[in-house]
Amino acid sequence: MGFRSRIIRPFANKIARDIQRWSAHAVQEQEQIFKHLIEVGKTTAFGKAHGFEQIRSYQNYIERVPIRDYEGIKPYIERIKAGESDVLWRGKPAYFAKTSGTTSGVKYIPISKDSIPNHFGSARNALFNYFAQTGNGTWLDGKVIFLSGSPELSETAGIPTGRLSGISNHMIPAWLRSSQLPSYETNCIEDWETKLDKIVTETLSQNMTLISGIPPWVQMYYERLLERSGKKRVLDIFPNFSVFVYGGVNYEPYRAKLEELVGASIPSVETYPASEGFIAFQDNQSEPGLLLNSASGIFFEFVPADEIFSENPTRLWLKDVQPGVNYALIINNNAGLWGYNLGDTVQFVSTNPHRLVVSGRIKHFISAFGEHVIGKEVEEAMLQVCKEQGVKVVEFTVAPQVNPPSGGFPYHEWLVEFDQIPENLPAFAARLDELMIQQNIYYEDLIVGNILKPLVITPLRRDAFREYMKSQGKLGGQNKVPRLANDRAIATELIHWQL
């Protein structure tokens, strides 16, 4: 253990004890956060417009504050952008996290002085907790890399504005900044492939001990490292690489390929950050799911996913959730997001402590025939058949084919980029269909009832998804290909790379 890890270990142990304490009393923590949010919210334009002075209970709150998406808070955001204070939260935001929406165009998500610890302290806590739990602190004694978007910020009404990953870059403490790669100049490069080449140049000869990023873009980094170095394994380049930190997508579909490139299974820490807040993180290496960040300025609500578009959906808070139920995630936070529909769906795998898995996106599902297939189902089915048949998949997405070009029954089309095409693709597809039937009773009814025919796999050429993302101007950074779509917009583009 090096000097830095020895110095930090007592602090890491304290962080771990704190996490154990508040996670054991998560419901009480949520009660206190709710009370604090309402008390501060009374002084804001939003609070006055929604009668916060009369709120005495959670039931009072849901009677006054409807669930809304970005369009619902946009008028308040515009008031902030016009220079007004005390609109959604006290004062003005410390930052705007700038992100793109599918219907709202550019979104400006407020980050307040009060919410900064949630965004930028939670990642630290996740890593320090990992150190305390496992004793592995060697990553603190080498170089670390965060594959992210540009840290360059603009201003909106005097408020620093940029991507969350860019804002995060400015929050890295001085003691870690000396170990951080790539350089600020390289991080500012917008073109992903140019940036990736510079990152490889800067890191190839370094003692990299921690690598962090979204799995498909980390895969590109690994491949470029091996191509440039002539080595066969990433561990031949970085022998002290000891922890991989990731978030944004389910790691499992990428695990086999990444471990092949690295040359071993590297310990990992999963995180669940969003522009709106840091939701959860992996707190235990042997237990499934991510620990809900229940003591960090966010009051969480949960709506049964099949009710989210209802006029009066059921709204629950943490004390009422049940394992295995698919919930739409709603947040209320100390930056002024109220009843905000994050767009994600989650399922709890445990309520003591409260651990969850991300099951998909509200808008990323297939229900062209009432089947309501979600991301978790397609990913688990693909993962199992790949494991059974020794197949590796680079990337895939699924879309309905309502009007097959050759006629016949409609079906679900799986557009798949294989690392190597299965020897028996029809058998692979048939097993995949069996697994989908086992997971989704509505899908089973449609197959058995001859309303849908079994799924069809369309294999795509190598790098199809990267080329597609490049054609959309979304190569690299935090961009992800949706796993599911209820239309054929993405499928129609990807079909150009069909084998």
SS3 sequence, 415-468? EEEECCCCCCHHHHHHHHHHHHHHHCHHHHHHHHCCCCCCCEEEEECCCHHHHH
Specify the pLDDT at position 140: 93
Cβ-based neighbours of 1, under 8 Å, separated by 6 or more: 9, 137, 138, 141
* 398-406 long-range Cβ contacts below 8 angstroms, 24+ apart: 398/366, 398/373, 398/483, 398/484, 398/485, 399/366, 399/484, 399/485, 399/487, 399/488, 399/490, 399/491, 400/366, 400/368, 400/369, 400/486, 400/487, 400/488, 401/456, 401/488, 401/491, 402/368
Q: Angle at Cα 473 formed by Cα 471 and Cα 477, nearest 5°?
A: 125
Per-residue pLDDT of the chain (499 residues; tens, 9 = 90+): 788 889 999 999 999 999 999 999 999 999 999 999 999 999 999 999 999 999 999 999 999 999 999 999 999 999 999 999 999 999 999 999 988 654 456 899 999 999 999 998 999 999 999 999 999 999 999 999 988 888 899 999 999 999 888 888 888 877 788 899 999 999 998 888 899 999 999 999 999 999 999 888 898 899 999 999 999 999 999 999 999 999 877 788 888 889 999 999 999 999 999 999 999 999 999 999 999 999 999 999 999 998 998 889 999 999 999 999 999 999 999 999 999 999 899 999 999 999 999 988 887 778 788 787 888 889 999 999 999 999 999 999 999 998 888 888 899 999 999 998 999 999 999 999 999 999 888 899 899 888 899 999 999 999 999 999 988 888 776 677 888 888 899 999 999 999 8
Cβ-based neighbours of 426, under 8 Å, separated by 6 or more: none
340: β partners: 68, 331
Contact indicator for 491, 485 with CB cutoff of 8 Å: yes
Contact indicator for 162, 176 with CB cutoff of 8 Å: no
Contact indicator for 212, 258 with CB cutoff of 8 Å: no
Specify the pLDDT at position 472: 86
Distances (CA, A) of 138 to 131, 134, 257: 9, 11, 25
Specify the pLDDT at position 366: 83
How many whole angstroms separate alpha carbon 130 and alpha carbon 156? 37
Contact indicator for 83, 250 with CB cutoff of 8 Å: no
- H/E segment holding residue 159: strand 159-162
How many whole angstroms separate alpha carbon 490 and alpha carbon 93? 36
How many whole angstroms separate alpha carbon 357 and alpha carbon 55? 32
Specify the pLDDT at position 100: 67
Q: What is the DSSP string of 110-152?
A: EE-TTTHHHHHHHHHHHHHHHHHHH---GGGGSEEEE------
Specify the pLDDT at position 102: 45
Nearest to 50 by CA among 68, 39, 63, 40: 63
Distances (CA, A) of 469 to 222, 348, 491: 19, 32, 13
Specify the pLDDT at position 303: 97
pTM above 0.95, yes or no: no
